Amino acid sequence: MDVIKKNSYMSITIHYIDEMFNLYARTLHVKPIEEANHTTEMVLEEFSKGLAVFKVMADMYQQIIVVSNSSSNCCGANGIPLAFYWLACLDHKLATMLTTVVNKTTKMENGVKRKPFYRYKDVQHMLPLFMLIDACKKLVEYCKCANLQSQLSKTLK
Q: Average of pLDDT values for 36-41? A: 84
pLDDT in tens, 117-152: 666 655 667 767 777 877 887 887 787 777 776 676
Q: Which residues contact 137 (CB under 8 A, 6 or more apart)?
A: none
Domain check: are 44 and 96 in the same one? no
| Proportion of the chain in helix, strand, coil states, percent, rounded to 5 | 40, 25, 35
Q: Has residue 68 got a pLDDT over 70?
A: yes
Asked whether the whole model's pTM tops 0.95, one would answer no
Domain check: are 63 and 94 in the same one? no
Q: Average of pLDDT values for 58-75? A: 87
Q: Among 35, 54, 88, where does a domain finish?
A: 88
Contact 46, 54 (CB under 8 A): no
Domain check: are 81 and 127 in the same one? no
